[in-house]
Amino acid sequence: MRHIPNLKDLSPDELTDILARAAQIKANPKDFRRLLDAESLAMIFQKTSTRTRVSFEVAMTELGGHAIFIDWLTSNFVLSGIEYETEYLSRNVSCIMARLLHHSDLEKIIAASQVPVINGCCEKFHPCQALTDVLTMIEHFDDDVTNAHLAYLGVQNNVSNSLAILCDKLGIRLTLATPLPDDNGESQDAEVQDVIRRSAHVQHTTDARGAVADADFVYTDTWIDMQYFNNPEHEREKQATLERMLPYQLNGNLLAGLDCRIMHDMPIHDGYEITPEMVRDPRSIIFDQAANRLHAQKGLLAWLYAEARSA
């Protein structure tokens, strides 16, 4: 059975297939209204979400199926073993999507599940976001997307890890313009660091201005993990991060005169990783990108159910 913990186990052909299905369903949604007839997706959330929850729920509805929101804190996942709750769940639904604090817990869910499991974002990976991002780049680039240059500015995290894996597999040039990552940071993944070291397509620099100079797409994400952003105990660290990270902020000065598209996976933190002017700049495709979560989710679900049905 196939699961989507990250994008490491998917071949370039499989990733291209998922993206092609997303584009096909987006272009002809009425043709796919019964694709997941009577199927149920369980969506488990340990962390907050707007886009992941909405896009998966709407995707299931528009494909003829149904999605069930499960808040970790008000479910019996808090009382019992992940393996027991998951085994039960996978006998009543045909797919599970989980947004968890720890990838190790996602691995426990995968081990206990009798149905496919999708990572809806953990501390290390955000595979659904990276698929959305490349789908959006394809739509906004006149040439083959493998000729595009994507510059990601900010901190190395779950989003940049997934972009590194995907761009390496698809042959898209990705420059990660970030401070050197903390070896003990919770998003650190040895295989991703190996990709960054050895890939012909993915490179790292600390030079934000150099990275954006010939970029077709300039992308940023939050500098502070979502669970810490409004936490008063992290206020001092938040201020220190802001000062250290300012050279990587997407602002009018950095992007002046550049012919690029501006991307952000949202939620946006005005004045931190991006200024409000850049969010609303004519070059911004941020809201197209966010809306594409729905279409990328449909492509992924269509591919995963096709895999499960053919097994």
Window of 47-55, 79-87, 175-183, 206-214 that interacts with ligand CP by CB under 6 A: 47-55
114 near ligand CP (CB under 6 A): no
Q: Is 51 in the site for ligand CP (CB under 6 A)?
A: yes
C-alpha distances in Å from residue 289, one per residue of 146, 196, 266: 18, 24, 9
Minimum distance from residue 155 beta carbon to ligand CP (Å): 15
Least CB distance from residue 186 to ligand CP, whole Å? 17
Does residue 267 bind ligand CP (CB under 6 A)?
yes
* Cα–Cα distance, 143 to 139 (Å, whole number): 10
Q: Which is nearer to ligand CP, 61 or 147 (CB)?
A: 61
Q: Answer yes or no whether residue 52 interacts with ligand CP by CB under 6 A.
A: yes
Residue 186, CB-side half-sphere exposure with 13 Å CA sphere: 10
To the nearest whole angstrom, how small is the minimum distance from the Cβ of residue 25 to ligand CP? Answer: 20
Stretch that binds ligand CP, among 61-69, 70-78, 244-252, 263-271 (CB under 6 A): 263-271
The answer to whether residue 288 forms part of the interface with ligand CP (CB under 6 A) is: no
| Contact between 129 and ligand CP per CB under 6 A | yes
Q: What's the full length of the chain, in residues?
A: 311
Please say which residue, 35 or 150, places its beta carbon nearer to ligand CP: 150
Residue 50, interface with ligand CP (CB under 6 A)? yes
For ligand CP, the binding residue among 6, 49, 175, 284 (CB under 6 A) is 49
